Amino acid sequence: MTRSKNTRERLLDTAIDLIWKSNYTRVGVNEICKAAGVTKGGFYHHFETKADLFYEASVHHWEQKKHELDEVFSARYTPIEQLENLVNHILAYQTEEELGDDNPVSGCPFFTSGAQVGTGEDKVRQAGQLMCQNAQKYDEALVRGLQSGGYLNSECDPRQVARILLQYVQGLLLYGRTFYDLEVVKADIREGLYRILDVKAEYRAVAQPKAA
C-alpha cells in the first residue's frame, strides 16, 4: 500500500512540476512517466487519463497551497495586513526558479489550462473551477473583513468583489507573462487590488512599500 501511495504521489508531484514549467497540452503521459520513474502500467493503475491525473494534481496542489494561504489570511493579522500579505504572497511566486523557464512572471496552470484545451476536457475545466472556488473563499473572507472593519469607502457585494479580485490577479499575471514583464506586475498588483476594493485613502498610504 505504501509503495502504491508513493507511486501515486510521485506522479502527482511530477505532473504539477512539468505542467507548471510547460503547459497541459505539451506534457504527455510518456513524459510524465519518464520524469517520475514510473511505467505506463503504473500510471494507468492510478489514473485512467492525463485529464484525471491533472484534476487529482490540482487537488493535491491545493492541499499544499492552502496551508500558505491560511498563514497569509491568519486571524492574527488585521484585514489590511492580510491584504498586504496577499500582495507579497503573489509577488513572492514570481521567480524564474519556480517556473523553470526564462519568463520572469509565473502563472497558475490550473487556472489557465481549461482555456488551452477548450471545452472537450471536462476534468481540466473542473480543475480550474475547483481552484477558482477555493481561492474565492479566501478572497471573500478578506473582503468581508475589510468591509466590517471600516477600511472601504463603500458597501459592496463581497462575493462579487472576490470574483473580480481573482479575475484581476490572473489577468495581470497572464499579461505579465505575455510581455515577459515582471515590473508591470510589481507596479500594478497593489494599485489594482486597492482600487477594486475601494480602500480608503488613509489605509492606502499606510500600505505603500517603504523605499529601500
Contact 177, 103 (CB under 8 A): yes
Model confidence pLDDT, tens digit, residues 73-110: 999 999 999 999 999 999 998 864 555 567 888 877 77
Specify the CATH number of the domain 50-207.
1.10.357.10
- pTM score, whole prediction: 0.87
Question: Does 16 or 70 have the greater pLDDT score?
Answer: 70
Model confidence pLDDT, tens digit, residues 175-209: 998 899 999 999 999 999 999 999 999 998 755 54
Q: How far apart are the first and last CA of the chain?
A: 53
The residues, any chain, with a CB within 8 Å of residue 78's CB and separated by 6 or more, are 149
Q: Where are the domains of the chain?
A: 50-207
Cα–Cα nearest to 166, from 125, 144, 138, 147: 138
- pLDDT confidence of residue 25: 82
Q: What are 43's strand-pairing partners?
A: none
